[in-house]
């Protein structure tokens, strides 16, 4: 949608952003947090705003939710500070702004947009389209996930563990000019470090050998229970019950799997690292083994398979029914304009109806938006966490008149 130039428009401006961020639409709203697409009128880019819903609530989950929200910001800030020192670079969305941990009331954070949706939605689209997941794509997802984990686990002094790695915490992003998405890791609210001086995020192995922090265990679950299920029968590894060898009743060996299937070998290497980590880390400070060998193997075997993915006829359905629509949708999301109305009353009515079904959590203002979506001025301000209107303001230096009585009464009632 092109910017509207014929007359003033009005949009919802989040008051906690230093960059004049206008509401676009709600992405998701869970028990403790809400995420929204917002338009940064300073940079001209669409980004993501994450808001804590119950920062001042007496609900039993509000305190843990605030702790997780703060831990997410704190962990990513640390990882991005490490990444700023040079390669390798983790695939973690950049943190643009955030509230301080001791912020009274509303907590918020702003992030770079990953425009391709979650891995869960991606795999569901493959199933709905009847398009098997190409083996090259499965290896690509595994490789990029492990590369970010390797960066985290090899952090100087003390490793960082995600501890909540699953399909909805892996998101895709189509970079400009790219037809295949990159895989990013999000939501570090359950993350932990092995720094014993870090009272907030410190973790250690349990005496019984349980390893709740070990991300590779979750990666193995992802491969076995999610990626393999979407492969074609011809691409099934031997550890899958749906593989041709298993279907023929072929005996499965417990040693190193056959080297003919990349996923068999990758899982074998990861299981070996898992045993090494489990058996050698019953001390206070956890030292994860390096994932570099697995990553090198995946890069080597995955390169020709990714070329096949782009050009082979057998992957045409996947390209046409999954990748192409997702890429097109990602471009639209990245270019989505802010939600604006031609009158304050129209905007208020739309917001009152729930902004497409979900109330966007503030603090926010109503602002006049001009050509190119620049924010000209703030017209009214809403209370931080309530729906009640705190005040109605007009810029006196503009010589604007106050709203008529009826409109003012409607705004106050809302």
What does pLDDT average to in each consecutive run of 10 residues of the chain (414 residues)?
55 84 86 88 92 60 77 94 91 94 76 97 97 97 97 86 93 95 95 69 48 80 94 88 46 48 95 83 67 97 96 96 97 93 82 58 78 77 38 39 38 30
CATH topology (fold) of 119-334: Transferase(Phosphotransferase); domain 1 (1.10.510)
Q: What top-level class would CATH report for the domain 9-113+338-413?
A: alpha beta
Helical axes 135-153 vs 292-311, angle rounded to 10°: 150
3-state secondary structure 47-104: EEEEEECCCCCCCCCHHHHHHHHHHHHHHHHHHHHHHCCCCCCCCCCCEEEECCCCCC
Q: Which pLDDT does position 321 carry in this prediction? A: 97
In this prediction the pTM is: 0.82
**How many Å from the N-terminal Cα to the C-terminal Cα in the chain?**
30
d(CA 87, CA 128): 38
Question: Half-sphere exposure of residue 277, counting CA atoms within 13 Å on the CB side?
Answer: 25
Q: Give the per-residue pLDDT at 86.
A: 83
Supply the pLDDT for residue 401: 45
* 197 CB-near residues (< 8 Å, 6+ apart): none
pLDDT of 394 reads 37
Residues 6+ apart with CB under 8 A from 354: none
Q: Yes or no: say if 140 and 153 are a contact pair by the CB < 8 Å rule.
A: no
- Report the distance separating Cα 65 and Cα 52, nearest Å: 8
Q: Does the bond joining 413 to the residue before it have cis omega, within 30 degrees of 0? A: no
Looking at residue 103, what is its pLDDT?
A: 60
State how far the Cα of 47 lies from the Cα of 112, in Å rounded to an integer. 5
């Amino acid at each position: 949608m092109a910017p509207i130039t014929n007359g003033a428009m009005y949009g919802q401006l989040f008051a906690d952003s230093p960059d004049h961020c206008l509401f676009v639409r709600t992405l998701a709203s869970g028990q403790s947090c809400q995420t929204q697409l917002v338009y940064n009128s300073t940079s001209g880019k669409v980004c993501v705003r994450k808001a804590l819903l119950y920062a001042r609530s007496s609900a039993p989950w509000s305190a843990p939710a605030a702790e997780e929200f703060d831990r997410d910001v704190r962990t990513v800030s640390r990882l991005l500070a490490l990444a700023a020192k040079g390669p390798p670079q983790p695939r973690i969305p950049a943190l643009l702004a955030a509230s301080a941990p001791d912020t009274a009331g509303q907590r918020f954070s702003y992030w770079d947009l990953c425009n391709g949706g979650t891995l869960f939605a991606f795999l569901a689209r493959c199933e709905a389209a009847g398009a098997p997941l190409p083996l090259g794509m499965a290896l690509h997802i595994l490789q990029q996930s492990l590369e970010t984990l390797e960066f985290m686990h090899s952090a100087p002094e003390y490793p960082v563990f995600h501890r909540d790695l699953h399909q909805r915490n892996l998101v895709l992003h189509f970079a400009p000019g790219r037809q295949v998405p990159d895989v990013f890791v999000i939501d570090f609210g359950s993350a932990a470090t092995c720094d014993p001086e870090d009272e907030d995020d410190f973790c250690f192995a349990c005496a019984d050998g349980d390893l709740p922090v070990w991300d590779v265990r979750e990666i193995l679950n992802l491969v076995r229970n999610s990626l393999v299920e979407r492969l074609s029968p011809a691409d099934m590894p031997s550890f899958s019950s749906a593989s041709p060898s298993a279907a023929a009743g072929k005996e499965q060996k417990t040693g190193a799997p056959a080297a003919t299937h990349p996923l068999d070998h990758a899982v074998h290497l990861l299981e070996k690292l898992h045993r090494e980590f489990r058996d050698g880390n019953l001390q206070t400070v956890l030292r994860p083994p390096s994932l570099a060998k697995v990553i090198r193997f995946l890069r080597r075997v995955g390169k020709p398979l990714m070329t096949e993915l782009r050009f082979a006829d057998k992957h045409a359905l996947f390209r046409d029914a999954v990748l192409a629509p997702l890429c097109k949708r990602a471009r639209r999301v990245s270019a989505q304009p802010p939600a604006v109305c031609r009158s304050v009353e129209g905007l208020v009515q739309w917001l009152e109806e729930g902004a497409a079904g979900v109330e966007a959590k503030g603090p926010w203002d109503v602002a006049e938006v001009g050509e190119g979506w620049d924010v000209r001025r703030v017209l009214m301000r809403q209370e931080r966490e309530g729906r009640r209107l705190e005040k109605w303001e007009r810029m006196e230096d503009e010589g604007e008149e106050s709203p008529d009585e009826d409109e003012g009464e409607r705004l106050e009632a809302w």
